């Protein structure tokens, strides 16, 4: 069961590391439209899963969906300001911190070595300054990093309502429905119905929810303090997309610094999973 849980955590990482790619490709010009379109993709994936896990409406799932929606809106703003390669490590880093704190203080999850766990968090924190590199516009960059950090802290808490009420599986449809119910008004509020952006958002939402389903299964099998940090290795894929495909960072020094930061964060996540 442990290995199955780890496998699902890795699957979550792959999907979460790529779900911003489609919206980054078309350009994030209107966050509200993209969030609304994303909510459509989320629900479209959740409906067939509901035939296996049920369509029961859970308050915990509705709350979780609302929390994720706030986190994703902040993440979209951050990507627009500082790019995918820099946003992803910040999202991952602060998400891991949030899940670690919840796991230890609220759920009472234990570690084989608390010292090793603290070293892992230290590595994670050390990696963040490397990512804040190459600011052409310091004021915009600073704002982007703060938004990304806030998005990570909020996003790292979105599964907590379902884990606390033991509704990780039964709450999945509710969380998806909540994201959809909040997203559709935003979609019409945007008053922009650009086809390519709508399609990109739907693809993004589908990939996110595949990852979400995977991480919920993983958390149920191996616990949040192991599953969530592993899932956040999604930053490896996101940074690669940002640097290699979108060419967000072209200077060699910048690429090295951001890559080192991402590696430190990944090492911290890996170390935390075995602590």
Interacting residues of 56 by C-beta distance below 8 A, sequence separation 6+: 170, 173, 174
| Residue pair 34/247 in contact by the 8 Å Cβ criterion | no
Q: Examine the pLDDT at 135 and tell me if it is beyond 50.
A: no
Buried b (16+ CB within 10 A) or exposed e, 158-182: bbbbbbebebbbbbbbbbbbbbbeb
Rounded alpha-carbon distances, angstroms, from residue 270 to 64, 103, 108, 264: 26, 16, 20, 10
Interacting residues of 249 by C-beta distance below 8 A, sequence separation 6+: 83, 85, 86, 133, 134, 242, 243, 255, 258
Per-residue pLDDT reduced to its tens digit, 142-170: 889 999 999 999 998 988 998 889 887 78
Q: Examine the pLDDT at 132 and tell me if it is beyond 80.
A: no
Report residue 140's pLDDT band, with 50, 70 and 90 as the boundaries.
low
In the chain, % of residues over pLDDT 90 = 37
Per-residue pLDDT reduced to its tens digit, 231-241: 877 888 888 89
Pairwise CA distance, residues 22 & 26, whole Å: 7
pTM for the full model? 0.86
pLDDT at 267: 84
Among candidates 239, 241, 217, which has minimal Cα distance to 227? 217
Most confident of 37-46, 104-113, 169-178, 194-203: 37-46
Report residue 273's pLDDT band, with 50, 70 and 90 as the boundaries.
low
Report residue 119's pLDDT band, with 50, 70 and 90 as the boundaries.
confident
| Residue pair 151/95 in contact by the 8 Å Cβ criterion | no
Backbone angles phi, psi at 208, to 5 degrees: -60, -45
Q: How far is CA 140 from the centre of its chain?
A: 22
| Residue pair 89/128 in contact by the 8 Å Cβ criterion | yes
- Alpha-helix runs per DSSP H in 104-137: 114-131
Q: What are the structure tokens assigned to 193, written together?
A: 């119905």
Q: What are the structure tokens assigned to 97, written together?
A: 């911190």
Residue with tokens 């070595």: 113
Per-residue pLDDT reduced to its tens digit, 22-72: 999 998 889 999 999 999 999 999 999 999 888 989 999 999 999 999 999
Pairwise CA distance, residues 227 & 244, whole Å: 27
Interacting residues of 51 by C-beta distance below 8 A, sequence separation 6+: none
Q: Over range 127-136, report the average pLDDT.
A: 66
């Amino acid at each position: 069961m442990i290995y199955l849980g780890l496998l699902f955590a890795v699957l979550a990482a792959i999907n979460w590391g790529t779900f911003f790619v489609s919206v980054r490709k078309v350009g994030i010009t209107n966050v509200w439209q993209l969030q609304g379109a994303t909510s459509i993709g989320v629900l479209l994936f959740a409906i067939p899963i509901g035939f296996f896990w049920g369509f029961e409406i859970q308050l915990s799932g509705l709350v979780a969906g609302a929390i994720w929606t706030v986190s994703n809106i902040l993440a979209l703003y951050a990507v627009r300001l500082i790019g995918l390669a820099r946003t992803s490590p910040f999202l991952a880093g602060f998400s891991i911190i949030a899940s670690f704190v919840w796991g230890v203080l609220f759920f009472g999850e234990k570690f084989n070595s608390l010292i090793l766990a603290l070293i892992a968090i230290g590595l994670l924190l050390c990696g963040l300054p490397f990512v804040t590199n190459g600011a052409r516009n310091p004021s915009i960059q600073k704002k982007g990093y703060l938004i990304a950090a806030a998005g990570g802290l909020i996003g790292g808490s979105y599964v907590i309502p379902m884990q606390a009420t033991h509704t990780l599986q039964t709450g999945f449809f509710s969380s998806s429905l909540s994201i959809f119910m909040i997203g559709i008004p935003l979609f019409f509020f945007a008053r922009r119905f650009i086809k390519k952006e709508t399609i990109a958002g739907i693809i993004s939402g589908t990939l996110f929810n595949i990852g979400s389903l995977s991480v919920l299964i993983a958390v149920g099998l191996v616990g949040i303090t192991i599953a969530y940090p592993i899932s956040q290795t999604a930053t490896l894929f996101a940074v690669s997309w940002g640097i290699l495909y979108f060419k967000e960072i072209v200077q060699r020094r910048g690429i090295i610094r951001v890559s080192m930061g991402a590696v430190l964060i990944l090492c911290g996540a890996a170390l935390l999973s075995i602590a």
